Structure 1
Amino acid sequence: MSSSTPPPAEAAPGRLDRILAFMSLGIALLSIGCFFAIMIGTAMGMTQADYSSGIWPIVAILPMFGLPLAFVLIIALLILTWVRRGRASGTEG
């Protein structure tokens, strides 16, 4: 009978992992929603002048900054996960 070592226990995700995950998801969904709002507004006949008042400037700018920010947050989450798993397995790098 061979004695095999059990796989190392998976470390539970920390608070920072959950914050990064929910922030990236929220920002991405909000940006995609704003993108669709602009598409629907344009299809309904809104002109460029209509987008210059009210909340529309924010709706127009948010996808340009929100989607890259969500991508960066996802990359940061992946790096944190790789580091945590590397430390849990006893190797770094």
Structure 2
Amino acid sequence: MSSAKPDETPVRRIDRILTFMSLGVIVLSVGCFFALLIADAAGLEAEDFGRGAWPVVATVPMIGLPVGFVLIFALLIMSIIRKGRATDQRS
């Protein structure tokens, strides 16, 4: 038995991939952002942020959040196009 209703279009594999990629990138970025806030509140000095993994942790939110937004936007556009084509085929 299929879980999809007759009126619904099936979810494609690329839609799932884009969904989980965008969710993963955004969660990672927000996690790095909170790590920076916690480290700053804990009293980590400014010169300590230039060593170790801190430059990567500081860069991830600057790159990850826009990439996550673009992935969500691409998913939205693909979904609108897919549903539009499904509607055209029914009529």
TM-score, normalised relative to structure 1: 0.86
Residue 10 of structure 1 aligns to a residue in which SS?
Answer: coil
The equivalences for 1:1-93 within 5 A come to: 9-90=7-88
Q: Which moves more between the two structures, 47-56 or 76-85?
A: 47-56
After TM superposition, give the deviation of residue 9 of structure 1 in Å: 2.5
Larger Cα-atom Rg: 1
TM-score, normalised relative to structure 2: 0.88
Residue 45 of structure 1 aligns to a residue in which SS?
Answer: coil
Structure with the bigger percentage of helix? 2
After TM superposition, give the deviation of residue 10 of structure 1 in Å: 1.4
Residue 89 of structure 1 aligns to a residue in which SS?
Answer: helix
d(CA) in 1 for partners of 2:15 and 2:46?
Answer: 40
After TM superposition, give the deviation of residue 47 of structure 1 in Å: 1.5
Count of aligned pairs between the two proteins: 85
Structure 2: unaligned runs, 5 residues or longer: 1-5
Question: What RMSD, in angstroms, separates the aligned Cα atoms of the two structures?
Answer: 1.5
d(CA) in 2 for partners of 1:14 and 1:57?
Answer: 37
Residue 52 of structure 2 aligns to a residue in which SS?
Answer: coil
After TM superposition, give the deviation of residue 52 of structure 1 in Å: 1.0
Structure 1: unaligned runs, 5 residues or longer: 1-7
Q: What are the superposed Cα offsets for residues 34-56 of structure 1, whole Å, 9 maximum, x if unpaired?
A: 00000000000011211111111
